[in-house]
Amino acid sequence: MTQHTDVVVVGGGQAGLAAGYHLRRQGLDFVILDAEAAPGGSWQHMWDSLHLFSPAEHSSLPGRLMPAQPGETYPGAGHVVDYLADYEKRYDLPVQRGTRVDAVRRDADRLLVEADSGIWRARAVISATGSWSRPFLPAVPGRSVFTGRHLHTVNYRCPADFAGQHVIVVGGGNSGAQIAADLALDGHVEVTWVTQRPPRFLPDDIDGRALFDVATARRRALDAGRSDTGGVASLGDIVAVPPVRAARDAGLLQAKPMFARFTADGVQWADGSHTGADAVVWCTGFRPALSHLAPLNLRGARGHIPTDGTRALGEPRLHLIGYGDWTGPASATLIGVGRPARDAVREIAGLL
């Protein structure tokens, strides 16, 4: 059966909910289609010890401050899930769960949104599908000959799964540092941390609050035609959240440069030496989950869709939020997604 609505939001994580908040305020008819069975987007799937890199009040969506988590300066992922579940209830957001969108197509004066449970004809679409469903693994010689376990950030849960084992953690970003710290601090896992370039820790007094300010200042400078400040990347890559700081200060976070190749039972380094390993955790990032937009033929360089703000250059009825800075400064953060969501909905309201 085909249903009709003003706007379909694809994805019901934080970005989709922020869009829903603004669509409600504009009085537009809309539906949020989300592949998950439960609220919370990818926060439901984070590893057990993950905590935000900003305090609760600096991790809020529009309209409703995230309450503090008792006893925690930096809330855990479960607290974020509870907040998002409460948020969609509070604003009565029409989220249809267990619904995966396979394709968005042009159909005369409408966009046709094809999902596994039906078809929607919409006047505009907001894509907010995140990147969690597209983990990225780099090509490394011999990867398939390694007989140990390969995991990505998305599959990692807790150190107990590796008790007594040697684990190689690959990646010099926040996930790599945090997972290496999680395993190393446990004391029952031998950890080798591998990064492509020497790890760059941010100063200890910088957390997500400052990062948001830096990202916003960079965008303002670029918009005003001033020179690029370099943004967050100019400061470092790794937020020194408490466990990372503890592991670093205990000397447990000594990174090695990338190994040359896998062997059947471990890895071989550039100097020919060998380290045995039981598992490798790839903390090597994600790509935006955009396959449902393929029929629109909008892909540009690096797999992104070229945008002006949040609006797709090749399809003015399509907006993208979340994903990364290319859809707005700090668009892929809790506190940062509110502004692009507001801008997208304003433009859509103007269009309709």
Pick from 23, 36, 237, 310: which binds ligand FAD (CB under 6 A)?
36
334 lines the binding site for ligand FAD (CB under 6 A): yes
Residue 11 C-beta: closest distance to ligand FAD, Å? 3
Distances (CA, A) of 81 to 31, 77, 338: 20, 6, 17
Pick from 292, 317, 319, 339: which binds ligand FAD (CB under 6 A)?
292
10 lines the binding site for ligand FAD (CB under 6 A): yes
Query: 16-35 mask for ligand FAD (x: CB under 6 A)?
Result: x----------------xxx
120 lines the binding site for ligand FAD (CB under 6 A): no
Distances (CA, A) of 149 to 167, 222, 244: 9, 44, 24
Pick from 20, 130, 172, 340: which binds ligand FAD (CB under 6 A)?
130
Tokens 């700090």 belong to: 330
| Distance from C-alpha of 173 to C-alpha of 179, rounded to nearest angstrom | 10
| Distance from C-alpha of 33 to C-alpha of 10, rounded to nearest angstrom | 5
**Residue 246 token pair:** 């503890």
Looking at residue 18, what DSSP letter applies? Answer: H
Cβ distance to ligand FAD smaller for residue 122 or 332: 332
Tokens 């790839």 belong to: 282
Q: How many chain residues are in contact with ligand FAD, going by CB under 6 A?
A: 35
**Residue 296 token pair:** 């629109």
129 lines the binding site for ligand FAD (CB under 6 A): yes
179 lines the binding site for ligand FAD (CB under 6 A): no
Residue-wise over 129-142: b if at least 16 C-beta within 10 A, else e?
bbbbbbbeeeebee
59 lines the binding site for ligand FAD (CB under 6 A): yes
Cβ distance to ligand FAD smaller for residue 30 or 43: 43
Residue 197 C-beta: closest distance to ligand FAD, Å? 20
In this structure, are residues 329 and 310 in contact, taking their beta carbons and an 8 Å threshold? no
Query: 61-100 mask for ligand FAD (x: CB under 6 A)?
Result: ---------------------------------------x
Q: What is the largest CA-CA distance in the chain?
A: 65
**Residue 56 token pair:** 């609760």
Q: Which residues pair with 286 in a beta bridge?
A: 135
322 lines the binding site for ligand FAD (CB under 6 A): yes
180 lines the binding site for ligand FAD (CB under 6 A): no
Count of C-beta atoms within a 10 Å radius of residue 264: 9
Pick from 11, 266, 288, 340: which binds ligand FAD (CB under 6 A)?
11
Q: Which residues pair with 105 in a beta bridge?
A: 112
Single-letter amino acid code for the residue at 164: G
Pick from 21, 43, 120, 146: which binds ligand FAD (CB under 6 A)?
43
214 lines the binding site for ligand FAD (CB under 6 A): no
Give CA angle at 317 (313, 323), nearest 5°: 65
Which residues of this protein are in contact with ligand FAD, per CB under 6 A? 10-16, 33-36, 41-43, 46, 52-54, 59, 100-101, 128-130, 132-133, 153, 175, 208, 289, 292, 322, 332-334
